[in-house]
Structure 1
Amino acid sequence: MVRSLLKLYLLVILAAAAAVTAINTTFIPLFHEHFTATERENRRGYAFTLSQYLGPQRGKDRDAALSILQEQAREKFDLVDAASLTHLDAQQLADLAAGKLVLGYDAKDYYLPLRDGQILHALSEEEDHTNISVLAYALIALATLLSIIAWVWYHWRDLDKLQQAARDFGGGKLSTRANLPRRSNIAALATQFNEMAEQIEASIVHQREMMHGISHELKTPIARLEFGIALLQSAGTGDAERARQALRLEDLRRDVRELDELVTELLTLGQLEQGAAPMMLMRVSVSELIDSVAASLADEVADNKLTLSVHVTGPRPHHVCDPRLVARALLNLCRNATRYARSAIHLRAETDAAGRLRLTVEDDGPGIAPEERARIFEPFHRPDSSRNRHTGGFGLGLAIVRRIALLHGGQVGLDSGSEGGARFVIALPPMDERAMPGKPSI
């Protein structure tokens, strides 16, 4: 703080000294006419007295009168001819010819024309007030120093708080925030720091929860693989044992596929969250997109003895989006619905005149409790009714749906359907067709 204070103080003092020097050397020439008019008005009585005193005198009498005046006055007086005043400009010479008092550019020389054409030259001598000037400038410098100290200390105090908050946050105290008053001059900086700290804390907490969830999800299939391998190693050689080995091998393959599916889902979610998967925007036929999703679900719907109804309405038949990602989101929602629907799943797509697209997936299952809806889109979160992996999946599908909606600038919501089940709604805003890479439409 001391070094910064000294630098600031030195800069202010040098700037003030330069300003004073510039004023003393440039203001009189720049505003000479104004100063001349002012001095002429202020010394009008003085000039009249001098003219009356010296005007009637001639020759030696004038010289004697000038000597007496010199003894009584502080200025130095002498008589000059107009021809010798070559340093005066045309305007000053014209003023002398008109009988006016003229002020020199140094503000010390005065020229007063007398009646007989001679000119009285007066040179003012300034008194030496060095001690007073030094004291005055010292007081100004002290006042400046005190003002700068007050200003710097006020900022230094708040900056020190912000620095301490940053130090604590960097030391692992993620809940640390910079608490500064709103009147502080760095309140905006502190607000930005707090927002950054909140985002970093949320990201770290999210990563921790992800790691915990990944560890938990990987533990079960790995344990089953180890158990299956141990059974295979201890198996006998008979026909019955070989049949059991075949079943165990199939279980092991199923566990490997489960691990592969989990890793694929994790990679997909990671790419979406990091923006590593670029969006391929194109003009898509909404009805063809919905039909392709319905066709992909035909076998699953039939295996679960469900019916899938599809409805496409709205004034706009096309929408700009990434069809691969949007189809993935709809497939995740529909496959989620097949786990809980009793008899029917409804898939609807609606467009409006502004170009917004609303995608709805609804089932007639038991639905999701209101207290669970706030966390349903978090990775690895499953409602109480679907804790079993075989019915609830890995808990990543809805997180992927939410991320896809956010990538399109939209959002996804959950509420109760008309038949009591869960109704998921993806709302996508209109996209700028100029952002498309020129791909053909579907």
Structure 2
Amino acid sequence: MTDFAIGLSGIGAMFILMILRTPVGMAMLAVGFVGTWVLSGGRAANALFLTETFSAVSNYSLTVIPLFILMGNIASVAGFSKGLYDAAFAWVGRMPGGLASASILGCASFSAVSGSSVATAVTIGKVALPEMKRFGYSSSLATGAVAAGGTLGFLIPPSTGFVIYAILTEQSIGQLFMAGILPGLLLTGLFIFTVLIVTLRDPAAGPRGPRMPFGERVAATLRALPLILVIIVSIGGIYLGVFTPVEAAGIGAGLVVMMALFTGKLTLRSATLALSDTVRTTAMLYLIIIGASVLNPFLALTDLPGTLGEAMTSLGLGPYGVLLLIVLAYLVLGTFMDGLAMLVVTIPIFFPIVVGMGFDPIWFGVIAVVMIEMGMITPPVGMNVFVVKGIAQDVPMSTIFRGVLPFWLAMGLGLLLMVLFPQTALLIPQAMFG
């Protein structure tokens, strides 16, 4: 069996392990270790396991992950997310489908302290779905808006997806964070536009909310202002070069904890819940990074990425034709794989191909994350759909998928615009880093 065939067999074995519900990190770790053993012997496999595991977990940049996760969890258990939703509702609630638009704005705002699409969908969904049900919104629009809005947590900084992409490709976390801002705003705008189109076609799907006096709007905004200031300080500090992403994460988490203590919204029980969830999520992400660190050298030994790159180039499709093939591959993978699994499995294979074609690695990071976002609401897996189903248990899964379809199409339009106009992702990083 050739090295290339061993590489393909390893990828196939990894997919089988995932189908059997083996954790993603363990599946990659097992395939990388056994594959290296087969190709280079037990001594090399053991050395790879020890060195890559240590170098992965001791990476200072990874400190961003637990700090930003803690910041989002504290904000969630302290109830700060409701302030963001109420502020959004105060300004857009009177529009057709205003509650759905407020949900999307709430998701976009909470994404800037969460970094996780699942956490964003759960946190805002618990606040928004009961309100939309009370005002008579259609189940498909309500659940679709929350499921789609939650995906912004994977794109708007601080994004765990960007952190893992940066580690896998040795790119700048700061540049990737900044690259996600304009695409995140673009998708937020497209989602709100989608709500308007849906409600114009069927006004009963999203009735207008009550008119709110200007003074109440200002009051709602002021209640959300402390968390908004945390977002501005942490993300703005990175943009201005005042501190690094790791320092921004530490400052943001510290400010949110102090706010929660000062307002009396952080109890011993809620603090324990936030900390335990932070530890579980961080451990899961670290295991994935360790698995990817062991898998990637195995793939390099088999020359799988190089061979696939040559095969794609030989088709004569040109750079954008190859990019289209990669996009189609993500669409297919999104039907049965979870977002993080897609990221860590595909980036080691696709990244060398994309860079070899002359595409900007920061720009491709945004494209990959948007494609993974689409996978989060693509049947039959659609992680965010299952999350929303857990909140709205009386809504059939088919109704939720029907509700996310217009938003999925809006994401496709956003992806097309990012491909046609790369500056959408590159404008802010280039302005910062020259």
The normalised TM-score by structure 2 is 0.19
Higher percent of residues as helix: 2
Q: Which has the higher contact order (CA 8 A, sep 6+)?
A: 2
